[in-house]
Amino acid sequence: MAVGPVRVAAGACRRVLQRAFSLHKAHSIKDMENTLQLVRNIIPPQTSKKHKGQDGRIGVIGGCQEYTGAPYFAAISALKVGADLSHVFCTREAAPVIKSYSPELIVHPVLDSPGAVHDVEEWLPRLHALVVGPGLGRDDTLLENVKGILEAAKARDIPVVIDADGLWLIARHPALIQGYRKAVLTPNHVEFSRLSEAVLREPGNGSDREAVWRLSQALGNVTVVRKGERDVLSDGEQVLECAQEGSSRRCGGQGDLLSGALGVLVHWALLAGPEKTNGCSPLLLAAVGACSLTRQCSHQAFQKHGRSTTTTDMIAEVGPAFHRLFEA
Ligand SMILES: NC(=O)C1=CN([C@@H]2O[C@H](COP(=O)(O)OP(=O)(O)OC[C@H]3O[C@@H](n4cnc5c(N)ncnc54)[C@H](O)[C@@H]3O)[C@@H](O)[C@H]2O)[C@@H](O)CC1
Ligand SMILES: Nc1ncnc2c1ncn2[C@@H]1O[C@H](COP(=O)(O)OP(=O)(O)OP(=O)(O)O)[C@@H](O)[C@H]1O
Ligand SMILES: [Mg+2]
């Protein structure tokens, strides 16, 4: 059940977020509850009046010869969070493999074709958000195509979540994303250092919080989510931390779940409008939601499967974890 808007001013919103996601461990249950309440505000209500597609049409740009799991994890997570349609734009040979994982994904084998940018561009008017990078690989031709796709998405004001090899591309060409306020970058530890080196000419010096804030500022307030033992999030103004209990299991693919979930939440947060977000950055709220959800999935899956937990087990927890965090 979606809960009505919390009436707090921007300053109050900032205080709520800072208390709940502070550097110190002593989060009160009430502070965390207030923060999750803000995320709940952006979740669209489920009604019988909606048509297919209204709750989100998400596109994942990634999937190549080596990596077919990552784009699948991202795209299926978007659906499980609540998007209506999830597309994957991948290379020709990755497509049948990704299709075989799930009949629920719409898979376009276009990313290595000469007309890749045009082919994806044709779909852009029908997409609410793009998740760029899971399983993309680092082939120069593919990356060149993704540059064109990013430019086309920006021209249409489409929100983009950039992860994995998409971040490799951004580290080489930061101008691609500079100042684009509808972008969220989701680096892991190594990806963050690479970006910091490229943008700030330093390997992420200073405290975690300061380093994330500086990178976001340097990129013109692009939202940055640095994943790790605690996730650190900044839009160049506020810095938040998410310490939702996760697990000690570090199998591959958890970041892909996060980026796919974030694709939907970014769309919902922007759609909700300032009345629902109460002065908070919609992208930051979406990121808080995606980080909390991923970690809660990890926690629940680990309780059932322990050491053998895999990302597939976490994806099976998306529904129950979402309900527990945002609807209970
Ligand atoms: N099943 C799949 O198809 C998967 C594919 N993946 C894809 O694999 C490609 C490369 O991604 P990588 O994440 O390996 O990126 P990189 O190729 O940049 O490698 C990062 C390296 O850093 C290490 N690392 C990660 N966190 C660290 C930390 N906190 N401290 C020290 N070392 C750390 C990792 O083990 C990895 O070897 C991407 O396209 C990604 O999407 C991954 O998403 C995992 C799952
Ligand atoms: N040490 C840790 N303790 C708890 N949670 C962690 C830890 N490191 C990462 N996480 C969580 O795991 C999830 C994925 O982060 P991770 O750093 O593994 O991303 P990634 O390397 O991009 O993953 P992927 O394998 O999908 O590429 C995030 O939700 C993050 O909060
Ligand atoms: Mg990753």
Residue 46: how many other CB atoms lie within 10 Å: 11
Measured CA to CA, the distance from residue 133 to residue 258 in angstroms comes to 13
Q: Would you call 53 helix, strand, or coil by DSSP?
A: coil
Distance 30 CA to ligand 3 centre (A): 32
Residue nearest to atom 36 of ligand 1 (CA): 190
**Closest ligand 1 atom, residue 252 Cα:** 44
Q: Annotation-wise, does 252 bind a ligand? A: yes
The SS3 of residue 220 is coil
Give nearest CA residue, ligand 2 atom 12: 254
Written as tens digits, the pLDDT of the chain (328 aa) is: 222 222 233 454 555 455 444 433 334 455 556 778 889 999 999 999 999 999 999 999 999 999 999 999 999 999 999 999 999 999 999 999 999 999 999 999 999 999 999 999 999 999 999 999 999 999 999 999 999 999 999 999 999 999 999 999 999 999 999 999 999 999 999 999 999 999 999 876 668 899 999 999 999 999 999 999 999 999 999 999 999 999 999 999 999 999 999 999 999 999 999 888 888 899 999 999 999 999 999 999 999 999 999 999 999 999 999 999 999 8
pLDDT value of residue 28 = 45
pLDDT at 36: 84
CA distance 75 to 70: 9
Q: Is 44 exposed, middle or buried (0-12, 13-18, 19+ CB in 10 A)?
A: middle
Contact 74, 256 (CB under 8 A): yes
Q: pTM, whole model, 2 decimals?
A: 0.93
Count of CB atoms within 10 A of residue 182's CB? Answer: 19
**Quick one: which of 140, 171, 144, 176 has its CA closest to 160?**
176
Q: Please provide the CATH number assigned to the domain covering 52-327.
A: 3.40.1190.20
Residue 279: its pLDDT value, please? 83
Strand partners of residue 184? 161, 223
**In testing the pocket of ligand 2, which one of 185, 192, 193, 227 has its CB within 8 Å of the most ligand atoms?**
227
Query: Are 87 and 106 contacting, i.e. CB atoms less than 8 angstroms apart?
Result: yes
Q: For residue 250, report the distance from its CA to the centre of ligand 2, in Å.
A: 7
**How many angstroms separate the alpha carbon of residue 17 from the centre of ligand 2?**
22
Candidate of 132, 251, 254 to mutate for ligand 2, largest count of ligand atoms within 8 Å of Cβ: 254
291 is in an annotated binding site: no
Distance CA 83, CA 142 (A): 27
Which tokens is 229 given? 């033992």
Model pLDDT, residue 17: 52
Residue bearing the CA closest to ligand 1, atom 15:
164
Q: How far is the CA of 254 from the centre of ligand 3 (A)?
A: 7
CA of 28 to the centre of ligand 2 (A): 24
The 129-132 sheet, strands edge to edge:
106-109, 85-90, 57-61, 129-132, 160-162, 183-185, 223-226, 231-234, 239-242
